[in-house]
Amino acid sequence: GEDVEQSLFLSVREGDSSVINCTYTDSSSTYLYWYKQEPGAGLQLLTYIFSNMDMKQDQRLTVLLNKKDKHLSLRIADTQTGDSAIYFCAESPDRGSTLGRLYFGRGTQLTVWP
């Protein structure tokens, strides 16, 4: 399978910006996703970006993609306590036997302190 790496923990103060980082290995064109999972809940799709884009912004969320370094980041502006959750980065390659599969990172636990 594909390797998607994330740091496991991030703590920030309420009102600060959070930046969650992810690296992936697939070199083909691909969609990259960010999902949020609150305790006991399913995965909520936050945003996604195609690998021919550098940046995507959606309200408080900014996704940056460095395709050369295969590095993806999710920036949450003005982080709130309700943003505390696990954030999964996921990759959907477009080739061969990996086509049609989502490869997840291990998830980053974001804790927001009041």
Partner 1 sequence: DTEVTQTPKHLVMGMTNKKSLKCEQHMGHRAMYWYKQKAKKPPELMFVYSYEKLSINESVPSRFSPECPNSSLLNLHLHALQPEDSALYLCASSQTWRTSREEETQYFGPGTRLLVL
The footprint of partner 1 (CB under 8 A) covers 29, 31, 33, 35, 40-45, 48, 50, 88, 92, 94, 99-102, 104-107
Rounded to a whole number of angstroms, the minimum distance from the CB of residue 75 to partner 1 is 21
Minimum distance, C-beta of residue 25 to partner 1, in the bound complex (Å)? 16
CB of 6 vs partner 1, minimal distance in Å: 9
Tally of helices (H runs) and strands (E runs) in the chain: 0, 11
Of 13 and 106, which has the nearer Cβ to partner 1? 106
What is the CA 54 to chain-centroid distance, rounded?
A: 14
Least distance to partner 1, CB of residue 16, Å: 25
> Phi/psi of residue 18, each to 5°?
-110, 140
> 14 vs 56, which CB is nearer to partner 1?
56
Q: Which one, of 7, 28, 1, lies nearest residue 87 by Cα?
A: 7
- What is the rounded distance in angstroms from the CA atom of residue 7 to the CA atom of residue 14? 20
Q: Which is nearer to partner 1, 76 or 86 (CB)?
A: 86
Q: Is 100 exposed, middle or buried (0-12, 13-18, 19+ CB in 10 A)?
A: exposed
Closer by beta carbon to partner 1, 16 or else 109: 109
